[in-house]
Structures are given as structure tokens and as C-alpha cells.
Structure 1
Amino acid sequence: MHYNKQATEVAKEEVRKVLGVLDGHLRTRTFLVGERVSLADISLVCALLWLYKQVLDPAFRGPFGNVTRWFLTCLNQPQSRGGGGEGERSPPRKEKEKEKPPRREEKRPQPEEELDECEQVLAAEPKAKDPFAHLPKSPFVLDEFKRKYSNEDTLGVGWSLWYCQYRYPEELTQTFMSCNLITGMFQRLDKLRKNAFASVVLFGKDHDSSISGVWVMRGQELAFTLCPDWQVDYESYTWRKLDPDSAECRTLVTEYFLWEGEFRHVGKPFNQGKIFK
């Protein structure tokens, strides 16, 4: 199939749901069924193998530690190394091996060595320069903030704060198309997620709407200029740095992060919002 960004993101979300169920099942289990590797484990490992190699980068598989632990354990079993369950299920071959002692003396890789190789494959990522390498290490943990925002009734302000507004509201027609505009921007900024958070809101109705939002970014300047891939959409917005100590900033953060409030600066009713995290 030809690559389709939107279809890929939908597929990844489905994978996350499935891995979430599997991770919960494996929280108190070493293998899928019983206390030893079974055909169920081997079959599922085969189904996940290329997914782990080509899709599940370290950030993606981070929340599913139980699945990765099980996956590596299964790969390290003799049943997996033997090509899908040889050994216990192939007595004739065992007998043949006994007739040929030299074959038994062949050195086999230790489990630790194979585990290291597997981890190297799973952790292999394209070498690319970090756009934020020039900035000092920050004590603010953005992932922890995102978890708190998603799971708790908590507000937080950190790094630098920016208010953005779409420059061409007269071109906005159907509200669903305006929402797609926001979603498309978020998708193109996928590699910025580790260093930014945003709540972008659509106000108004069909043929009478506007888009604006509040962003949290690492550093004191707009991050979009650091990478060409991030510059596709940002020039379609006006950007204004906020003073975190000001009353205006506190109001904007509260209203945009909670999607509640008067939004007096907009002049249009809240329609819907989208979170970049």
C-alpha cells in the first residue's frame, strides 16, 4: 500500500489498544498460558516480530513494558531459536542428534548474547541530529506533565508559553475541515511531541469560525525554526510569547487547557479542542 499518514496513525492507535490489553494480561504472567512457552507465545511473537522491527520504536513501546519483557523472553527460548517449536515436539530429530556427538559440541550462543542482539535490533533508530542538542538539560519532565494533565485535574506552566492564532479565519468554511487543519498540523509535528504540548481550539460555527491555542515549548524561542519538517504550518499562525507571571497568561492557560471559560478575547463560542501531546 502507498504510505498514508492518517491511515498509519489510525493503525498505530489500534496497535496501542491491542498492546494495552496484552500488557495487562502479562502484568502477572511470564507466558501467555501456563508457566512455559507454548504455541500461543510462538504464534504471537511471529505476528509481532516485524511490528517490533519497523514500527515499535522505544518511545512507542515504552508504556508496554510487560509486552516487551515477554517478547524478549520468548525470543530467547529454544523453541524460538529452533524455528518454531523444535526440541520437545521433535523426538526423532533428538535421536539423530544423539547419533552425531560432534553436532552437540557446536558452540551455541548464550541467552544473554541473543538478548543483547534482540535489544540492539529493537532499539535501532535512524541516526539524526537532535534539534534541541544546543539547549541545556531541563529539570522539567514533559512526559510527567502530560501524564498528570491526562489523568489528573492539574494545571502546569513551564518552559516557554506561546499564544497562537490562525491568520486566515475568512478561509475557514466547514468546522470539520477546520478540525482537519489542526489535526494535519499535529501529524506533521509528530517528532516535536517530546518537547512540546499544546491545546488548540476551534471557535464558532460553519463559515464563521477561528482557531487559536496555547503552546508549551522547550526553550525560549519558537521550536519550529529548528527543523524544516516543522515549518509547514506555523507561518499560517501569529505567535505571541506569554508572560507566565501575568494575569492574562493564567487566564489563557486555564481556559485553553480546561476548555472552559468565557474566552472573551475570541468573541465566538467554544466549538471543540484538540491536544498535542
Structure 2
Amino acid sequence: MASIGTLWTIPQFDKGKRIRAVAAYAGLSVDLPENYVHFESNKQPEFLAKFPHGKIPALETKDGFKLFETAAIARYVATLAPNVPLLGSTSEEAALIDQWASFADGEVGQWTILIFQLVKGIIPYNKQHHTIFAERQLRSLETLEKHLATRTFLVTERITLADITLASVISRAVTVTIDAEWRAKLPNVIRLFETVINQPKLKDIFGTPEYVEKALQFVPPPKEKKEAKPAAAAAPKAEKKPKKQEEDDDEDDDLVPKEAPKEKNPLDLLPKSSFNLEDWKRAYSNMDTRGPGGSIEWFYQHFDKEGFSVWRVDYKYNPELTLTFMSSNLIGGFFNRLEASRKYLFGSMGVLGENNNSVISGVLILRGQDVKPVVDVAPDWESYEFKKLNLDSEEDKKFFEAALAWDLELDGKKWVDGKNFK
């Protein structure tokens, strides 16, 4: 098969599978770069020079054409095979193919992502949200089931881009939400899914599906059990002792082992700092952020860069973010889990962009020069990237001030919601 260019993706990523499947079905192929490391390779200057947003999947054809966003790449690749009408033969068919492909992503795929994030604790779990998301996904699947009851494929009598799109979405859903009970209600959806992934050209790409028997459920983290103290035995009536004996017994108290003092947090052992974090939190809360006499001016007047440091924070999984209010809840959950570090930390983080096209970013001000001892109290701290900022750098200073003032803008995405950790 002729290669059309290089596709940066994670091979097991369902969106990357979709593009590879479209290419394979059309008799084409894409090259996967060797030694690609996500969150590292796509942050390198040479990658960002081609794809400024750093997002995957991303395609560069052999003649230098560059494209990102899964739906756009899949549709473009489909146009390169006129003898395989993946986009239909008429304007009406093309429109219906776009309709069902969009429906598969927006009405089936997004609920899988949201439910997965809920049950895995990536965003704070809410039973009501889980129920609503599952009901909406099932309703969408039932619409597809009814449509497919009288059709082999979604639009024409042959596989189109819409069918491959739906198959890529279902391939993930069957590992999260579409369990045995749902599959019994959706025989036509499963029939289409298995028909597509078992095409000779596509079997190696999709592999053998892994069906869950029971939809994934949220499991609360185990609570620490406190050891029950044994019931105190009734103290025997003390015998009256001569005064001298009582004095001797008092001296023996020094020989009774005492409870060891609690180990101090290493952050408490750092040299005393002139910067008072609690004073900063009050200044930030009670002053205007920018302008003369504002909290940013107060910060620069008092900041101790030896005792404290400033860090940029970016969420690693921005491509999976959907509704902005859910992304804001994700920040809130992260901050809740940082509670044990409250006296060492201040944060200002926000959601930038719009539904289904947003990022999470912001700043932390923290005790010491190492971020890990402060943030690793939160189990999900590794879902974020941390970069130390140099406030002598004009670029870092501009980012820091914008995150504090909630007017940060990244790649055209404007701040729409934010939270502070104080």
C-alpha cells in the first residue's frame, strides 16, 4: 500500500485507529514515527513548528500538507481514494455520512470519555452525572439501533467513513459502558461494529475487541481504618504509700516510654522565609489583581524567590476534555485533593476555550524549589505537567500575571472559568 505521509498518534488510541483504518480500507497507508513519546515528542520545537497546538493525531503528507483534528484527517484521507466511495456518490450521501460520523463522535463517543473520567476519579465522581451520561449514551445507541434495523450500513450498501467512525467509537465504548446487558439491547449496532472491524484490511488495526461483562463502576478509595483501642481495665485501688515511696515512684515515670513525636514535614524544615503565604492569599482576595496597589504589585514587593517558587501547570489530557463545566469540576477535584498542602500552596487555574475544544492551565505558588513534595498529596498529580517559571523572563512573567488575573489566553483560547486554591 502506498504511504501518504506520517501520522503522529498513539497506535492504540481509538482516534488514531480510525485514521489508519480509513487509509487501509482505501488501499493506502500512513507511516508512524519511530520513538514517539507522548507529552514529550509533541512538545518539541520541531513538532510545534509544524503543529503549533501540539495536538495528536496530526498528519504530514509527503508533499508537506499538514493537518490535525481526527475528523478532518479521516475525511481528507477518504478523499484520496476515489475508487472506494467512503464519502458517498452524491451530495445527499456525503451529507448523511457527515451526519452519522458527527453523531457517533458527539452523541456516543463523548459520553464514553466522560463516564470513564468519572469512574476512574479523573474528575470528581457524581452519581447523578454518571446516571445522566449513561442514559444519554444509551438513548443515542438506541437511535442507531433503530436506524440499523433495516440497513446493513449507516448510509449506503457499502462501508463508508460513517461506519468506520462509529466502529472506532464503539471499540472504546465496549470496554467502558456497553456491557452484556446493553449488548443484548443493541444487536444491530454490535453487528455493524463486528462487520467493520473484521474486514480483512482492518483486522490488524482494530484487533480483537475486549467486551466488558459489566459496565465500569466507580469504586471509592478505601478509608483508613482506625485501630480500636482496647477497653481500659478498671484500675486497682491505689495503696497509700509513705511520702518517700511516692517521691521515688515519681522519679520512675521518666523510665516509661513516651509516644514518639510526629515527624515534621520536610517543608517545615526549610529556612524561614520573609514571604508570608497567608498574607499573600489575603492580599489576592481583597485587592484588585492588576494596576497600582493591586495584588500583583504586592506580590513582587514581598516575594522571596529563595523560599518559594512559581510553577506553570498544564493538564496532560486536554484532547479528552469535553464540556467546560466538567473541566472546571476537574480542577476543583484536584484542588480538593491538595488539602494536606494548603499551608504551603496557592493556586490559580482555569479552563480556556469552549466545549469539546478546551485546555486546563494555570499557576501555583509553593514553598520550596521542588513541586513534588507539595503536590504529590493529590493522587492525580501526575495527570498534570509542571514547569518552573522564571519571573525574570518576560514571557514567564506575562503568563504568571495573566493566570492570576484570569485573562490568560493560549493559542486563541480565552479563559472561560477558573478556580483558586487559597
**Please, which of 307, 314, 317 is the counterpart of residue 165 of structure 1?**
314
- What is residue 144 of structure 1 aligned with on the other side? 279
- What is residue 271 of structure 1 aligned with on the other side? 416
Query: Is the CA contact 2:324–2:358 (under 8 Å) kept in the aligned structure 1?
Result: yes
Alpha-carbon separation, structure 2, partners of 1:272 and 1:173: 14
- Mapping 1:10-25, distance limit 5 Å: none
Query: Is the CA contact 1:164–1:239 (under 8 Å) kept in the aligned structure 2?
Result: yes
Higher relative contact order (CA 8 A, sep 6+): 1
Alpha-carbon separation, structure 2, partners of 1:137 and 1:149: 22
Instruction: For residue 219 of structure 1, report the CA deviation from its aligned partner.
Output: 0.5
Asked if 1:225 is matched to 2:370, the reply is: no
2:382 alignment partner, SS class:
helix
Query: Is the CA contact 2:407–2:414 (under 8 Å) kept in the aligned structure 1?
Result: no
Alpha-carbon separation, structure 2, partners of 1:206 and 1:128: 46
**Please, which of 134, 138, 146 is the counterpart of residue 269 of structure 2?**
134
- Mapping 1:173-252, distance limit 5 Å: 173-222=322-371, 224-225=372-373, 229-230=377-378, 232-252=379-399
Q: Deviations over 1:217-266 (max 9, x none)?
A: 111111x3367533x122111111111111012211221111125x2x44
Q: 1:207 to 1:241 in 2, by over 3 A?
A: same
Alpha-carbon separation, structure 2, partners of 1:228 and 1:239: 12
Q: Deviations over 1:168-202 (max 9, x none)?
A: 11111121211111001100101211111111010
Query: Is the CA contact 2:352–2:417 (under 8 Å) kept in the aligned structure 1?
Result: yes
Q: 1:201 to 1:228 in 2, by over 3 A?
A: closer
Runs of 5+ unmatched residues, structure 1: 8-125
Alpha-carbon separation, structure 1, partners of 2:412 and 2:375: 34
Q: 1:132 to 1:252 in 2, by over 3 A?
A: same
Alpha-carbon separation, structure 2, partners of 1:174 and 1:240: 26
Query: Is the CA contact 1:131–1:227 (under 8 Å) kept in the aligned structure 2?
Result: no
Query: Is the CA contact 1:131–1:226 (under 8 Å) kept in the aligned structure 2?
Result: no
- What is residue 78 of structure 1 aligned with on the other side? none
Q: 1:203 to 1:236 in 2, by over 3 A?
A: same
Q: 1:131 to 1:185 in 2, by over 3 A?
A: farther
Alpha-carbon separation, structure 1, partners of 2:280 and 2:374: 23
Q: Deviations over 1:10-46 (max 9, x none)?
A: xxxxxxxxxxxxxxxxxxxxxxxxxxxxxxxxxxxxx
Q: Which amino acid aligns with 2:393?
A: S
Alpha-carbon separation, structure 2, partners of 1:143 and 1:212: 23
Q: 1:127 to 1:134 in 2, by over 3 A?
A: closer
Instruction: For residue 6 of structure 1, report the CA deviation from its aligned partner.
Output: 9.7
Q: 1:209 to 1:143 in 2, by over 3 A?
A: same
Q: Deviations over 1:38-91 (max 9, x none)?
A: xxxxxxxxxxxxxxxxxxxxxxxxxxxxxxxxxxxxxxxxxxxxxxxxxxxxxx
Q: 1:257 to 1:228 in 2, by over 3 A?
A: closer
Q: 1:242 to 1:176 in 2, by over 3 A?
A: same
1:132 alignment partner, SS class:
helix
1:229 alignment partner, SS class:
coil
- Mapping 1:30-179, distance limit 5 Å: 127=262, 129-153=264-288, 154-155=295-296, 156-157=299-300, 158=303, 159-179=308-328
Q: Which amino acid aligns with 1:140?
A: F
Alpha-carbon separation, structure 2, partners of 1:196 and 1:227: 9
Residue-pair matches, total? 151
2:270 alignment partner, SS class:
coil
Q: Which amino acid aligns with 2:345?
A: A
**Please, which of 248, 255, 268 is the counterpart of residue 402 of structure 2?**
255
1:133 alignment partner, SS class:
helix
2:370 alignment partner, SS class:
coil
Alpha-carbon separation, structure 2, partners of 1:246 and 1:173: 33
- What is residue 112 of structure 1 aligned with on the other side? none
> Which structure would you say has the larger Rg?
2
Instruction: For residue 127 of structure 1, report the CA deviation from its aligned partner.
Output: 4.6
Instruction: For residue 130 of structure 1, report the CA deviation from its aligned partner.
Output: 2.0
Alpha-carbon separation, structure 2, partners of 1:228 and 1:203: 25
Alpha-carbon separation, structure 1, partners of 2:327 and 2:386: 19
Instruction: For residue 128 of structure 1, report the CA deviation from its aligned partner.
Output: 5.6
Q: Which amino acid aligns with 2:277?
A: L
Q: Which amino acid aligns with 1:150?
A: S
Query: Is the CA contact 1:198–1:215 (under 8 Å) kept in the aligned structure 2?
Result: yes
